[in-house]
Amino acid sequence: MRGPHNIWRLVRTGATLERTGAMKVVLDAYDAPPLLRMAARIVGWPFQWLGAKGDTTMPPATRALTALGPAYIKFGQVLSTRPDLVGDDLAVQLRVLQDRLPPFPIATAKATIEEELDHPVDDLYSEFSEPVAAASIAQVHKARLRETGEAVAVKVLRPGIEKAFRRDIDAFYLAASIIEFLSPASRRLRPSDVIAHFDGVVKGELDLRLEAASASTFASNTEHDDGFGLPRIRWQQSSRRVMTMSWVEGTSMGDNDALDAAGHDRNRLGAQVLTLFLNHALRDGFFHADMHQGNLKVAPDGKIIAYDFGIMGHIDEYTRRVYAEILYGFIKRDYDRVAKVHFEAGYVPAHQDVDEFARALRAVGEPIFGMDATKISMGRLLSYLFDVTERFGMETRTELILLQRTMVVVEGVARSLSPQINIWEIARPVVEEYIRRNLGPRALARDLGQTAEVLARFGPRLPRLVERALMAQVDRPETQPRRRIWPWLGLGIGLGAGGAALLGFLLS
């Protein structure tokens, strides 16, 4: 429950930030005004002796969040994907945040499994190890299924983690309200919306059935992707607080020395991880939104293996097409087309000047294309693009922000593997292929066919729907303006009939 009782939690948080030196880092990152800095000092400085000391070998921000516990660690991880909110320097610190905590006892994990799966652990697994990884929300054990002998990873939520997160998130909401009150300028960053986004992410991660469903969907989408694989979900041994999946052996993508020792081609891996991400985002509209080195392994055969599906991104088909056209327009340096796409999609209000907007886009693109090709960043381009569109009245679109931040992370992974990689050279064929498949005559035919299928499903109900629409027109009082439904009805029937005819022609 949000309320004054959370003030003590904020005092402890402020004291820890002050004691670890993170307070100044955070205030500088947000360019906090004097009033907010004064309030933070009042909360933190006199009580810093109440704050946790943390690991003095860590940078201030990661040291403080690690000391404050699981909810703060996870919050730091989420913020690490939002340099637009915390600044590049702080985002880098948070990106290397170690999501590792002391494990909870194996007996507790077994008790959770038995309660969730309604079977003794010994009946389910012939082997069950001590924790092999312990993170902010759950820990993982290596086990072997008794029935099949398959090696599996068993992920178990921490005991009481739901209540602990709820308590801390309530305090986060209070802090966001205080910040917005003391610093009106901070409202453009929407602190409360940031907490609401974090709240939604955590709710998804605290139900392992949702993560399992995301993994299963992701696997279906990518089953034909060469050089890419996912652990298989074992649904019979999974529930809300337990998830079982096949065990994955491989080398961490963050360990270049180990990759070299295993004989892997890092240049190929860098290009492949970028290509895979673009395909998942554009082709499928469903992508891994936490695709850092810690969630990627390279199997002995060179296949990239992804895991940890708590944060996934989704983009609808129309938005994908708009995004692809924007990227393609920048690749071709056709700024007029990029501007028109923004207006056609309704991203920029119609009263703005399209030519002026195109010139602003040119000011974004040309300096980037003047750089050495190996230093061009698609993530930086999108960041600059969002800055420009914001000036022209474009409302923030969460799905594009998440896509752009993931793009930054994936580019970082690719460059860590192959520093000289040319991002545009890798991206261009992926975007061109998507454009060819989804924005040409064949795509129009497919869209009309899908429209015809929808109308066909409503076929038995169309007479009644038309009758109701006509009756509504007849019964409408004369004082209310009449809407002419005939043109729209005729257009709908015409499109449906045309789509059905075209679909029949294509299938014949």
Please indicate, yes or no, if residue 60 is contained in any of the structural domains. yes
Calpha distance 277→280 (Å, rounded): 5
Please indicate, yes or no, if residue 243 is contained in any of the structural domains. no
376: domain range? 249-439
Question: Among residues 172, 204, 236, which one ends one of the domains?
Answer: 204
Question: Among residues 439, 472, 493, which one ends one of the domains?
Answer: 439
Based on the fold, state whether residues 38 and 168 are members of the same structural domain. Answer: yes
Calpha distance 140→138 (Å, rounded): 7
Based on the fold, state whether residues 60 and 22 are members of the same structural domain. Answer: yes
Question: Could you write out the three-class secondary structure of 229-244?
Answer: ECCCECHHHCCCCEEE
Write the pLDDT tens digit of every residue in 165-214.
Answer: 888 888 888 878 877 777 665 665 567 777 787 787 787 788 999 999 99
Please indicate, yes or no, if residue 121 is contained in any of the structural domains. no
Calpha distance 170→74 (Å, rounded): 15
With 0-12 / 13-18 / 19 or more C-beta atoms within 10 angstroms meaning exposed / middle / buried, residue 504 is exposed
Please indicate, yes or no, if residue 228 is contained in any of the structural domains. no
Catalytic hit among 84, 168, 170, 290:
290
- What pTM does this model have? 0.72
Residue 395, pLDDT score: 65
Question: Could you write out the three-class secondary structure of 24-49?
Answer: HHHHHHCCCCHHHHHHHHHHHCCCHH
Distant-in-sequence, close-in-space partners of 392: CB < 8 Å, separation ≥ 6? 348, 349, 352, 357, 360
Please indicate, yes or no, if residue 499 is contained in any of the structural domains. yes
Number of separate domains in the chain = 3
Supply the DSSP string of 278-344, one letter for each residue.
HHIIIIISEEES--SGGGEEE-TTS-EEE---SSEEE--HHHHHHHHHHHHHHHTT-HHHHHHHHHH
Residue for token digits 């209070």?
A: 174
Low-confidence stretches of the chain (pLDDT beneath 70): 1-5, 29-33, 36, 41-49, 78-89, 91-93, 95-101, 183-190, 369-376, 378-380, 382-383, 395-399, 401, 440-459, 462, 473-508
Write the pLDDT tens digit of every residue in 55-111.
Answer: 888 888 888 888 887 888 877 776 665 555 666 667 666 766 655 667 899 999 999
Residue 245, pLDDT score: 96
Residue 455, pLDDT score: 65
Please indicate, yes or no, if residue 153 is contained in any of the structural domains. no
Based on the fold, state whether residues 174 and 274 are members of the same structural domain. Answer: no
Residue 264, pLDDT score: 95
Please indicate, yes or no, if residue 180 is contained in any of the structural domains. yes
Among 431, 411, 424, 427, CA closest to 270:
411
Based on the fold, state whether residues 277 and 191 are members of the same structural domain. Answer: no
Catalytic residue status for 290: yes
Based on the fold, state whether residues 372 and 452 are members of the same structural domain. Answer: no
With 0-12 / 13-18 / 19 or more C-beta atoms within 10 angstroms meaning exposed / middle / buried, residue 265 is middle
Based on the fold, state whether residues 276 and 383 are members of the same structural domain. Answer: yes
